[in-house]
């Protein structure tokens, strides 16, 4: 009973941490206009700062996957949560673009600790790994969906600085709770006897599909960072969505939450389908359908715009469990942790550069043009998914023909 309680406590902590991570990740986009007005900086500068934040977030994943195999996951998660809280306070005290950038860079590093370490923690803590990862996913999805409305509500009533400072409190408390957990550690050597499903430890047979998966991941990451950075600002300026008496920041957070709630459903659908159908085909569908959804966000206004944003969120987040599974499909077991580190770097680190690019687009052509550019990037992602699907079909056909021949 004690073991079960300890296990549930650990899973609860890591799931809450996942939710807080995404709350802090999306807060910047919600309060972006307020920060720009308060500090007197342009959207281009705000986009560059978002780039710094996102790159630090993604870059941290590269070394952390190795570190998670050599140190206590609970200690690392404690450092992650406390670091998130301290960085949030630094951001709340920013007096200019430089101090804001430093605070968000530190926040990005703290957030970047989580995904490789949190995944290792769940895999080594949960008796039923599938249920453990389900809890982890629910926590993150709730943070994604509820973060914007929470940040918008606090910022509209008390200002953007108080929003960041408020979220710092549960982060520090959670970090201290992590440090009270038993220090678990499993060395790399403990898995030395594990080989891939194919019996090969070499990456050579997987180079082409892995390269395609990572290339598409970069493009999806570019779209993700651009949308979460600028969608709240775009929604807050829509006259057709304005409600008398409500602050624009509050509206931005509320409408973004409505859209991202559909992403929660998309995650579950993507996970369900990826266990029952060809994953490469689902990846192609999710990328392809994102294109008209983004074009609709660019073209329409009012309620139709909100519906288009919800459709985009559904299909975009539907792809996440699919690509997570594809990384496992195309990497030997002994390389899997490192490949996930590279995967998160591609998604969050390289993808962060869209914030600078799209900050320039906003300054030059207006915020609505962001979604036209993102539609073009999503179309490229769909194009590069086609050879991945063709390769999977070809290999499946060869295996089937070989089976028939042997029969």
List pLDDT tens digits, range 335-370: 766 777 788 788 877 877 777 788 888 888 888 888
Please state the pTM of the whole predicted model: 0.70
**Residue 78 domain-assigned?**
yes
- Report residue 46 CA to chain centroid gap: 20
Distance, in Å, from the CA atom of 342 to the CA atom of 133, rounded to the nearest integer, reads 20
Burial 225-249 (b: 16+ CB within 10 A, else e): bbbbbbbbbbbbbbeebeeeeebbb
Could you tell me if 176 and 227 lie in one domain?
Answer: no
Q: 150 and 203, same structural domain?
A: no
Of 181, 216, 248, which closes a domain? 181
Closest CA to 159 of 108, 94, 103: 94
φ, ψ of residue 346 to 5 degrees: the values are -65, -45
What pLDDT does 193 receive?
A: 35
Q: Say if residue 320 is in the same domain as residue 289.
A: yes
Cα 77 from Cα 341, distance rounded (Å): 16
Residues 212 and 63 reside in one and the same domain? no
Is residue 105 domain-shared with residue 173, that is, in the same domain?
A: yes
Kindly report the number of other CB atoms within 10 A of residue 110's CB atom: 26
Does residue 188 belong to any structural domain of this protein? no
Q: Is residue 105 part of a domain?
A: yes
**Does 191 map to a domain?**
no
With respect to residue 189, please indicate whether it lies within any of the assigned structural domains: no
Give domain status of residue 49, yes or no.
Answer: yes
First to last CA, the chain: 52
Q: Which of the listed residues 181, 209, 236 is the one where a domain comes to its end?
A: 181
Residues in the chain: 407
In this structure, is residue 192 part of a structural domain?
Answer: no
Residues 94 and 205 in one domain: no
Same domain, residue pair 124 and 210: no
Residue 169 maps to which CATH number?
1.20.1250.20
Nearest to 74 by CA among 213, 206, 192, 179: 179
- Contact call for residues 305 and 235 (beta carbons, < 8 A): yes
Same domain, 159 and 212: no
Q: Is residue 2 domain-shared with residue 64, that is, in the same domain?
A: yes
Residues 21 and 133 in one domain: yes
Question: Where in the sequence is the domain holding 174, given as residue range(s)?
Answer: 1-181
Which portions of the chain are predicted below pLDDT 70?
A: 1-5, 68-69, 123-124, 126-134, 184-202, 236-256, 333-334, 336-337, 398-407
Does residue 402 sit in the same domain as residue 357? yes
- Residue 169 located in a structural domain: yes
Radius of gyration of the chain (CA): 21
- One domain, residues 237 and 385: yes
Total domain count, the chain? 2
The span from the CA of 130 to the CA of 112, in Å, is: 23
């Amino acid at each position: 009973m004690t073991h079960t309680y300890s296990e549930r406590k650990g899973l609860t902590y890591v799931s809450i941490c996942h939710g807080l991570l995404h709350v802090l990740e999306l807060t910047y986009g919600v309060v972006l206009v307020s920060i720009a007005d308060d500090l007197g900086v342009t959207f281009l500068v705000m986009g560059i700062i978002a780039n710094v934040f996102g790159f630090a977030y993604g870059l941290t994943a590269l070394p952390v996957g190795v570190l998670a195999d050599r140190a206590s996951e609970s200690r690392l998660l404690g450092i992650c949560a406390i670091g998130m809280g301290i960085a949030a306070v630094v951001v709340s005290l920013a007096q200019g673009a430089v101090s804001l950038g430093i605070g968000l860079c530190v926040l990005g590093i703290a957030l970047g600790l989580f995904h490789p370490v949190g995944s290792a923690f769940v895999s080594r803590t949960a008796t039923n790994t599938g249920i453990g990862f389900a809890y982890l996913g629910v926590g993150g999805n709730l943070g994604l969906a509820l973060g914007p409305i929470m940040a918008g509500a606090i910022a509209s009533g008390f200002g953007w600085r108080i929003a960041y400072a408020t979220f710092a409190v549960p982060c520090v408390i959670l970090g201290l709770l992590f440090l009270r957990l038993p220090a678990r550690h499993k060395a790399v050597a403990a898995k030395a006897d594990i080989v891939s499903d194919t019996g090969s430890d070499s990456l050579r047979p997987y180079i082409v599909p892995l390269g395609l998966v990572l290339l598409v991941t970069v493009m999806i990451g570019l779209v993700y960072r651009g949308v979460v950075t600028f969608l709240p600002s775009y929604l807050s300026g829509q006259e057709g969505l304005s409600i008398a008496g409500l602050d624009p920041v509050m509206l931005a957070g509320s409408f973004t939450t409505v859209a991202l709630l559909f992403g929660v459903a998309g995650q579950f659908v993507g996970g369900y389908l990826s266990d029952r159908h060809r994953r490469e085909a689902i990846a192609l569908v999710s990328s392809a359908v994102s294109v008209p959804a983004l074009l609709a966000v660019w073209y329409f206004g009012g309620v139709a715009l909100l519906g288009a944003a919800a459709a985009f969120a559904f299909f975009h987040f539907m792809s996440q469990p699919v690509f997570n599974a594809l990384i496992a499909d195309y990497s030997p077991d002994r390389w899997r942790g490192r490949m996930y580190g590279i995967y998160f770097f591609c998604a969050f680190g390289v993808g962060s550069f869209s914030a600078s690019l799209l900050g320039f687009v906003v300054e030059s052509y207006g915020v609505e043009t962001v979604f036209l550019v993102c539609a073009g990037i999503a179309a490229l992602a769909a194009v590069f998914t086609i050879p991945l699907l063709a390769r999977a079909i070809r290999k499946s056909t060869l295996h089937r023909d070989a089976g028939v021949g042997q029969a």
